[in-house]
Amino acid sequence: MRSRTFGIPHGDPDTTPPEEFRFDICGEIAESVAANDFDVRELVIPGGRCAVVRHVGSPDRIGETISPIYLDWLPDSGEELRDQPLFFHYLSVYPETPTDQW
């Protein structure tokens, strides 16, 4: 069975000092995570309404896709941000898909 994969950035990598930037890498699970020495833990992405945008290309250029959502779409949408970080649902995963085909 293959699980869905997600990423959750805590801060903007362009404005957060590298030593403070955190990024959770997540995989969908079917059972609880036992206590461990690796800080692997369960995390729930809360349900609810989300703006969805598809980024195609290198993850190094994802800001070009995300910034217009915050700068252009959100102010004109009438929507308000929840107190939750944005999250990525990865449809392609390296090395199965070369990064130039993401």
Give domain limits for the chain.
5-101
Q: CA 28, CA 63: separation in Å to the nearest integer?
A: 25
pLDDT at 1: 57
Q: Which residues of the chain have pLDDT under 50?
A: none
* Residue-level pLDDT at 33: 94
Q: Are strands 22-27 and 88-90 parallel, antiparallel or unpaired?
A: unpaired
Max Cα–Cα distance, the chain, nearest Å: 46
Given this model, what pLDDT does residue 56 score? 85
Give the residues across from 25 on adjacent strands. Answer: 7
CA-CA-CA-CA dihedral for 97, 98, 101, 102, to nearest 10: 70
Burial track 40-61 (b if 16+ CB lie within 10 A, e otherwise)? eeeeeeeeeeeeeeeeeeeeee
What pLDDT, on a 0 to 100 scale, did the predictor assign at position 51?
Answer: 92
The CA-based angle 17-20-24, given to 5 degrees, is 120
Q: What is the pLDDT of residues 69-81, one digit of tens each?
A: 999 999 999 999 9
